[in-house]
Structure 1
Amino acid sequence: MSREVKTGIVSVIIIALFIWGYNFLKGQNLFEASSRVFYIEYDNIRGLNKASTVSINGLQVGKVSEIDFNTSPEKKGKLIVKISLDNDIEFSKESIVKIYSTGIIGGEALAIIPSYEGEIAVSGDYLTGEIESDIFTSVGQTLNPLKAKVERVIIEADSLLIALNDVLDTDTRKSFKRTIRGFETTVSSVNKTLNSLNQMIDSTGSGLDVTLENTKTITENFAKISDTLVNSNVGLTIKTLQGTLDNVNGLLEGIEQGKGTIGKLVTNDSLYVNLTNASKELEELLREMKLNPKRFVHFSLFGKKAKGYNAENNKNNVSNKK
């Protein structure tokens, strides 16, 4: 075999190895059987690249073969990821292909969340894509609201300090210092008052003890009186008193109805009229005896007859001598 033929054979082998290595690095193995391909659309692939692994339930079943932009005018900016599966496992079109992080420095990969309900997916179908939040995204999503709140707090604190500086001018600070000194004086006065009060309590402690002892004695006596009242027949006394009150009420009711002597005296005014008339006649009699005593005690040697009763003169308090 000539040198030229050997050189040509070696060159062909080198070119073939180069082509195979290039495709292998792209995730395509020319020596393997034909693979099934599927397409997934994403808004953001988050660093996913060609040759990234594709797994189902943790088992690697394929690789990412192509990543291109969607050429459709209504879907500009979206990315279409083409995956090649070497495994013949079947799953439905409802399955989800999720981008997940394999680690801090491991990059991104695809995981098929298989669904076995509905129509079986065949090569060339589009599957639904999702993005799983990694630790950094989760931390960022958690810290972003906290960051916004901290920024608002810092801004509000800065505004508060500015307003406080405006309020606490030189005169206000001096006034505030005077207030603090006055407060210290007040506290000192309160302490003195409390000390005086303690001394007064100490000095009157013996008298207070006597007072408490007297109070205790009074309480004991009151307890004895209470026991006496409890043990006495209070119910019988109250019952007797109630009967007495009922009798008095009956007596008063009879008087109001004119029963008995007192009732007749209270309800009938004839006795009052008779007494009034008798009193009036007695008054006239006494006045007549005073004005004309000779009519009642008469001694006459010559037989002179006393003058009779004159109602007019009696009324006018005049004697009958005239």
Structure 2
Amino acid sequence: MNISKEVKTAILVILGIIFLYFGINYLKGQNVLDASNTFYTEFDYNALTTSSPVTIKGNNVGKIKEIKYDFETGKTRVAFTVDNKLKFSKNSKIRLYELGLMGGNGMAIIPAQDEQLAQSGDVLESEVEEGLIKSLTSNFSGLSTGLDSTLKSADSLLININDLVEDDTKAGLKHAIKELNGTITSFNTLSLSLNQLISKNDESLTAVITNFNTISKDLAVLSNDLKNVEVSKTVANLDTTLNNLNGILAGLDQGEGSLGKLLKDEKLYDNLEVASMQLKELLQDVKLNPKRYINVSVFGGKNKEDYVKPENERQ
């Protein structure tokens, strides 16, 4: 079955519109496939947010969909949704109540005892919990009381300032001005002394600054040199050298090479020890019996003393 390009284009356009509709509603936080009914109510002022719960007998059964101010009636119009499985009377009231320690407010459905069921789109009568009204009233009264005390404190402060300025003696104010003048004079003297110190040591300060510039340039050159050093290559060479050294030490430990055999061959050690003892005995014998080894005779005499081999070669 061949489908024309026009039909394919129409199908793609329809699917695009459907996806766009669902996407826009999803971004608004609305589920198009959600089976719920929408109801409306009005309050004299707004004390709700879109996250405020909608409950019935303490159970969360819905959410606030929209909060809008009605310019004609001067009231806040609230749209909320509840699960379509919930059935309640059209004469039920929507009560605005305080959530308690958690803060904020919520709406509770107070069902009426009749069989006239509410339909989606109905406007339900509202009421405000009595404690919430008292709380708001006390907050405004507390704000008024605090503002009144603040104004009284400010007025007392201004009166005290006026009393200080209009003091009959005026000695305190004059003394304060005199002290202020003295402070300014001392500051001027200090500033003059500092200028003189700088002028006297101008050459030294210039030399210090020049030396500092030279040092900073040298540090800059040093930093550039360090930057150009191939640190990675140096580290690699050092690592190679250490590996070679480890290989040499491992060979010595296993008795490889002359030095390894010297370290590991106990027989060679014993032979060297015997040779050392024999050399010691030879030197001692040469010292004690030099005629045995150096024969100086005018008449060709012969030393008849023979070498006696010790019983133990190590002695």
TM range (shorter): 0.3 to 0.5
Give TM-score, length-normalised by structure 1: 0.38
